[in-house]
Amino acid sequence: MIQRREDSTTPGARAQGGEGLFGGYYDGCVGWVHSYDRSRTFRFSDPYVDNLPSGVLLTLQGNPGNFTWRDLTGSKIGFIDGFVYDEHCLARTDFVTGNKLSSSQIVHYPTRPAAQQGLRDNEVDAIFDAKRIYLRNMEFQIVSDDFLTCVKAGFSVMTRKDSRLVDWWNPAFASLTATSQWKYICNDLIDEHGHVGGGDPTSCVGID
């Protein structure tokens, strides 16, 4: 897993690997996106989901504070510890003014509910999070365009750099996607796992 350092509340602190992967408790973590920061520490398999999950800036419904996302100068933004939707991702975009936030503009929260509560309590002007989480959420409003600067590739298997799991996984996965069984697996996503949200059959690699 990914976790923050002990100074996780320090604005600008980067995520680092958790003891599970580093300690060899398991060989890989399934369902992690290939991000820029993670690629410095971990190795990733070929993605099994085509689309890149985007980040967005969110306010409460109706944008009661009249937050202006195109210019973040002076705004205070909430981020969730360990998520790829962080201040470093925000700083990589070229279509927002003032996106290189100072430490006084950054607020880290340990969980998504905590970040959402911080927005309700006016601790921050907006939060930065995954768009797909809020598509059907009527309490919060997506107020920005999509940020595609957080992720290099879609959902994959994340391993240690010295792991050989990817050497086996990639050829095996390529063989699976070449069969009709892969289409059946993807078509069952909603029936089998739709209650927890996430992708749909069209997001699977090789499925039109």
- Name the token pair of 94: 């070229």
Highest mean pLDDT among 66-70, 81-85, 182-186: 66-70
Q: Which residue has the tokens 């069952």?
A: 188
CA gap 198, 155 in Å, rounded: 11
Half-sphere exposure of 172 (CA within 13 A, CB side): 7
Query: What is the distance between the alpha carbons of residues 15 and 7, in angstroms, rounded to a whole number?
Result: 10
Stretch 195-199: mean pLDDT:
54
Alpha-carbon span 122 to 124, nearest angstrom = 5
Name the nearest CA neighbour of 54 among 149, 177, 170, 188: 149
Global confidence as pTM: 0.75
Q: Tokens 């958790």 label which residue? A: 18
Paired strand residues for 128: 57
pLDDT computed for residue 194 by the predictor: 57
Q: How confident is the model at residue 198 (pLDDT cuts 50, 70, 90)?
A: low
Average pLDDT of the segment spanning 166-181? 92
In the block, residue with structure tokens 């985007």: 54
Task: Report the pLDDT value the prediction gives residue 35, as an integer from 0 to 100.
Answer: 85
Gap between the Cα atoms of 96 and 145, Å rounded: 10
CA 131, 137, 138, 140: dihedral to nearest 10 degrees? -50
pLDDT at residue 85 is higher than 70: yes
pLDDT of residue 193: 62
Q: Which residue has the tokens 């996965």?
A: 173
47 residue type, one letter: P
| Domains parsed from the chain with CATH numbers | 2-51+151-176 (3.40.190.10), 55-142 (3.40.190.10)
* Span 88-111, pLDDT tens digits: 999 988 899 999 999 999 999 999
The answer to whether the beta carbons of residues 17 and 41 sit under 8 Å apart is yes
**5 pLDDT higher than 60:** no
Lowest-pLDDT range of 6-20, 24-38, 41-55, 129-143: 6-20
Element spanning 21, H or E: helix 19-22
